[in-house]
Structure 1
Amino acid sequence: MSKAKNKITALTTLSIVALLSGCQSEPNQQAAMEVPSDPIQKMVFEQILEPEGLTDRSYPFEYGYADLNGDTEDEVFVLMQDPYFCGTGGCSAYLFNSSFEKMSKFTVVKKPVLISHTDTNGWKSITVWSDGSLRLLQYDGESYPSNASTQPIFNRDARKRMAHDLAVKSDLYLDGGYELTERTDLPIFTPIDQFSFQFKRESDPDSVFVVNVNTLTSDIFFSKE
């Protein structure tokens, strides 16, 4: 897989094709399953689904990747979305190294999944939503903690207020902008200091304008949908 250094995330569904090796006269003969060719789907199939015996249908998941340890190679974070992996508090998630080897499994995880600009023991810290709050996951020298709900709460309220102020004071918003609201469905491994808002403008009320604000650098980026 060609890995861009920008944090990228995508919603994907693992499609598994069953090739029936028997016929109607042999109903007990098991189906042979085709291993996906896409590297990410293949990784999920072989290291998450197959060990659980889940080779009968599609299992949706989201993923993102980023260089967590500064070796210029990207690690991959996978957040399962199927009810088999999810409960009322969240879903199971997995972290793989740049060689697609499983490093950590997390429980009770929801988005947002954010990456910090600071590190612990040489690895970037991660925050995930768990048990009603953002939780800080720090590398202990061997792995990240598995039970996200027991980790320290991380508060982004001050950063959020700063991002909101920068957005409403931007030239584009001041020029007829209204109905500024935060967008919470962020791509996996969005920088922890970055916030996304959307708004409308009086001159173009049928369009949605998106503003991404980085509170660490005060950079503001606009797009239109």
Structure 2
Amino acid sequence: MMKKGLLTVALSALFLAGCQTAGSSIELEEVVATPQLEAAIKNFTNETAPSYAVAYADLNQDGIDDGLVLLEGEEWCGTGGCTLLVFEGLADGNYKLASKSTVANAPIYVLEARSNGWSDLSVYSKGKGQVVMKWGGSNYPSNPSLQPTLIIDSKAVKPAISGKIDIPD
């Protein structure tokens, strides 16, 4: 995975959060993309060395980790945030794009609550704070800034993707 020098994204742990309060937790090592997920990211971005942050969680409760990818760089980030991709993990080890959302920011949380069989997500939306993103049956909402806000006790939970990503002015 390529990282820009200014990138300060920390991918140290994933903790699940309830709608309003902290829930159970799972600790993970620092995460890098598997070759299969990296291939899916490269295929989507059409770049040979895309820059991104990644985390894994079984979002659809099928026993296979899915990939959450926050793309970085001028191509994928604007003043409101960056592009968030969710890749569904497949039984053969490959990944297929399940959802794309723009103007997303870290921290990104995987919530215990589920909608249509998939875990709800919470992303930071510039000007609103943390918002809830519910699976609509075929994808997560494309624009997090239009979603309802969520109160998270940030002292009790840690995000799947956290840190500061430089967003162009």
**Shared fold (TM-score, shorter chain, > 0.5):** yes
Rg: which structure is higher? Answer: 1
- Letter of the 1:119 counterpart: R
Aligned-pair CA distance for 1:59: 2.5
Where in structure 2 are there 5+ consecutive unaligned residues? 1-25, 163-169
Q: CA deviation at 1:106?
A: 0.4
Superposed displacement of residue 6, structure 1: 5.3
Q: Give unpaired runs (5+ residues) of structure 1.
A: 13-36, 164-182, 190-225
Secondary structure of the corresponding residue to residue 41 of structure 1: helix
Matches within 5 A, 1:152-191: 152-156=148-152, 159-160=153-154, 163=156, 186-188=159-161
1:154 CA drift (Å): 0.7
Over residues 7-52 of structure 1, what are the superposed CA-to-partner deviations in whole Å (9 max), with x where a residue is unaligned?
Answer: 566367xxxxxxxxxxxxxxxxxxxxxxxx9222211111x222xx
Query: Whole-Å Cα distance in 2 between the matches of residues 104 and 6 of structure 1?
Result: 25
Letter in 2 for 1:146: S
Kindly indicate which of the two structures has a greater share of residues assigned to helix. 1
The match for 1:119 is 114
Q: Would the aligned equivalents of 1:112 and 1:188 in 2 still touch at CA under 8 Å? A: yes
Residue equivalent to 2:31: 10
- 3-state DSSP of counterpart to 2:145: helix
Q: What residue identity is the alignment partner of 1:188?
A: I
| Equivalent residue letter for 2:105 | K
Provide the rounded CA distance (Å) in 1 between the counterparts of 2:141 and 2:30.
Answer: 22
The change in CA–CA distance for 1:122 and 1:86 in structure 2 (over 3 A counts) is same
**Runs of 4+ in structure 1 over 3 Å off:** 5-12
Q: Which amino acid aligns with 2:51?
A: P
2:40 to 29, 39, 43: 43
Match of 1:88 in 2: 79
The count of residues paired between Structure 1 and Structure 2 equals: 132
- Match of 2:88, as an amino acid? N
- In structure 2, do the counterparts of structure 1 residues 118 and 102 end up closer, same or farther at CA, with 3 Å as the change threshold? same
Matched-pair contact (CA < 8 Å) for 2:68–2:84:
yes
1:59 to 50, 60, 63: 50
Correspondence 1:140 to 2:128? no
* Percent identical: 29
Quick one: distance in 2 between partners of 1:84 and 1:103? 20
TM-score scaled by length of structure 2: 0.68
Which structure carries more strand by proportion? 1
Question: 2:123 matched to which residue of 1?
Answer: 128
Q: How does 1:178-217 map to 2 (within 5 A)?
A: 186-188=159-161
Go from structure 1 to structure 2 and tell me whether the alpha carbon gap of 1:144 and 1:8 turns closer, same or farther (over 3 Å shift): farther
Q: With CA pairs under 8 Å and 6+ residues apart, which has the higher RCO, 1 or 2?
A: 2
1:123 and 1:187, CA in 2 relative to 1: closer, same or farther beyond 3 A? closer
Query: Deviations 1:196-216 (Å, cap 9, x if unpaired)?
Result: xxxxxxxxxxxxxxxxxxxxx
Q: What letter corresponds to residue 111 of structure 2 in structure 1? A: S
Cα contact 2:42–2:50 (8 A) shared by 1: no
Q: Could you tell me which of 140, 147, 153 is aligned with 1:151? A: 147
CA-CA distance at 1:90 after TM superposition: 0.5
Let me know the Cα RMSD of the aligned residues. 2.6
Q: What TM-score, normalized by structure 1, do the two folds share?
A: 0.52
Shift of 1:155: 1.4
